[in-house]
Chain A
Amino acid sequence: MESIIDFLITNEILIYLLLFTILLGFEVISKVPSILHTPLMSGANAISGIVILGAVILIRNTSPDNYIVLVLASIALFVGSINVFGGFLVTNRMLSMFNKKNKK
């Protein structure tokens, strides 16, 4: 318990950030109209691929002969970034369908 309280105190800024980001997230997302919920979801999904930053940082900090970590982390990077690239591209494809009419 003490160590958890310690963690909270030493990471005060992080906790503030957490709180405000949660509020911001709910505020921004609740403004999305229901016709865009599928693109929102696939777009948000792509953003969840942001975990790959962790993989990049991990790989860069790992000694080149530590193959277990390198292989696992690059698998994490690989599957995570399929999510990122595919997610943004397919969201773009969907959204451009909504706007076909306007361009004509």
Chain B
Amino acid sequence: MDKLIFLFAAFFLVWGLRLQSSPESATRGNKYAALGMFLSIFGAIIMPFENSGFNNYLWIFLPLIASSIIGYVIAKKIKMTSMPQMVSIFNGLGGLSAVLLSFIELYKVSFLGGEASLAYQIILILSLFIGSIAFTGSMLAFAKLNGYKWSEKLSLPYQHIINIVLLVVILYFSYQYFEVNNDFNLIYFVLGVSLLYGIFFVAPIGGADMPVVISLLNSFTGLTAALTGIIFDNKVMLLGGILVGAAGTILTILMCKAMNRSLLNVIIGGFSSSGKKTLKGVKGGDIKEINDSDFAVQLFYSSKVIIVPGYGLAVAQAQKLCKEIQEILETNDVEVKYAIHPVAGRMPGHMNVLLAEADVDYSKLIELEQANKEFKSTDMAVIVGANDVVNPDAIDDSSSPLFGMPILKVWESKNTVVLKRSMSAGYAGVQNPLFFRDNNKMYFGDAKDSLQRLSTELKTL
């Protein structure tokens, strides 16, 4: 009976993810996946054991009830802009759960007797290690995403050498545990160093690289869940873990590609080595500002406008204003679309969610390739709070750290307007020659204020 339930659960988990392939079916898919999860928990609660078991149902239902209430409240209250923080925290909790479970199993092997093969113990330690990185790493990622100042200062000098030393220490003590003596104190030590490693792993990575980090940590949690599945000899756990691991891995690869950087480069800490130098080669020139009424009039009489939203838009919480402007323009028969760069926002696909929250229809969101085809027929491209993803140097200048990164070729449209707070460089620390192009104008100010001014101006037309 329980085996049959697990079988159905596995089916629903896979089918649920399969349905995520389009926005129409995704809601149903999520429900299927949740059903699969419910079935598998139910299966674990009723499955019979050889030695009849003790059940201890009170110890099971109390945590389940408490966590369902907490989970419900968090899910209802959380703001969409805080989604990366929430995913980090939840991911960390999943990691913590796996750490505790592998710890208990190791404890049982040591103190409660029972034969455990070497391979089994290796899996336990591996799960303990990876789960620990997922746990403390996610917590630090959360702190960084939430903008806590201290979280940016945790990185030590020679961090990468320290990290390698920590890895060697973990390996050595694990080996001692396997081969020399099953001293449980070694496990405490391995656990402690692993938790520390999780912090040091994320510490040198910059805030803007968080889409990669979250994806990567997500795949770690999946991996540790799969390992736990092997430990408990449960195939649904194995399957679920692998699916999550695959999701995390694919997203990590996609994010790295979208930034034209290797995973190693992200982990080591980004543009820090080359960024400063290139700032010297600032390509000067004149910038032109556009005033409120000119901007509004030009937009108003365009036939096609593409908005390029970046993280600056999300920080300023100006998505609703974007939608407002879109509506004003659409009533005047202006075609409005949004070009979404894969790394816009703070996690993969974040910008899409933020715009969906502001009621922007997803058919108006176009991806990189499609957008680059459409700029040629666009009258005006409006760049809101984005910088590096529209930098022509990525194509023109082989010495630029951005060179090779897939970008939005906004300058192919007739006119571009960049909404920006100042002339400061983007995350990569390089100046953007787009700002000095003939067909580009600047519109300075905080994204929200700027869009508010623009919207007011548009309404007077």
Contacts and interface: CB of A to CB of B under 8 A. Distances in A.
Contacts of B13: 47
A76 B100 contact: yes
Given A40-B349, A41-B214, A86-B71, A74 B62 contact: yes
Contacts of A99: 23-24, 27
A51 B104 CA distance: 13
Nearest to A23: B246
Contact of A93 (B59, B75, B119): B75
Given A51-B224, A76-B97, A35 B66 contact: no
Interface string A1-12: 001101100010
Contact size range, A: 35 or more
A50 B237 CA distance: 6
B234 A57 contact: yes
B30 A95 contact: yes
Contact of A35 (B62, B74, B352): B352
A26 to B, nearest CB: 5
Identify whether the interface residues of B are mostly helix, strand, loop, or mixed: helix
Given A52-B97, A83-B90, A74 B60 contact: yes
B222 interface: yes
Contact of A97 (B74, B239, B356): B356
A60 B30 CA distance: 29
A98 B27 CA distance: 9
A6 B365 CA distance: 53
Nearest to B211: A37
Interface string B137-180: 00000000000000000000000000000000000000000000
Contacts, number: 358
B375 to A, nearest CB: 19
B18 A28 contact: yes
Interface in A33-59: 33-59
A10 B79 CA distance: 49
B9 to A, nearest CB: 9
B100 A72 contact: yes
B245 interface: yes
Contacts of A25: 242-243, 245-247
B251 A41 contact: yes
B71 A38 contact: no
Q: Which of A22, A85, A91 has the most CB of B within 10 A?
A: A85
Contacts of B17: 28-29, 32, 40, 43-44, 47
B395 interface: no
A93 to B, nearest CB: 6
B20 A43 contact: yes
Interface in A71-98: 72-98
Contacts of B226: 18
A45 B225 CA distance: 11
Contacts of A18: 226, 238, 242
A56 B104 CA distance: 13
Interface string B282-313: 00000000000000000000000000000000
B207 interface: no
Contact of B353 (A28, A38, A63, A100): A38
A34 B348 contact: yes
B316 interface: no
Interface stretch (B49-57, B264-272, B425-433): B49-57
Given A56-B44, A88-B33, A101-B361, A48 B221 contact: yes
- Closest A-B pairs by Cβ, 4 of them: A37-B349, A25-B246, A85-B71, A80-B97
17 contacts: A26-B246, A35-B367, A37-B347, A39-B20, A40-B251, A40-B348, A41-B348, A48-B221, A50-B37, A59-B56, A60-B60, A73-B59, A74-B59, A80-B98, A81-B67, A86-B70, A97-B356
Interface of B: 13-14, 16-18, 20-24, 26-27, 29-31, 33-34, 37, 40-41, 43-45, 47, 49, 53-56, 59-60, 62-64, 66-68, 70-72, 74-76, 78, 80, 83, 86-87, 90-91, 93-94, 96-98, 100-101, 103-105, 107-108, 117-120, 122, 214-215, 218, 221-222, 224-226, 228-232, 234-251, 254, 340, 342, 347-350, 352-353, 356-357, 359, 361-362, 365, 367
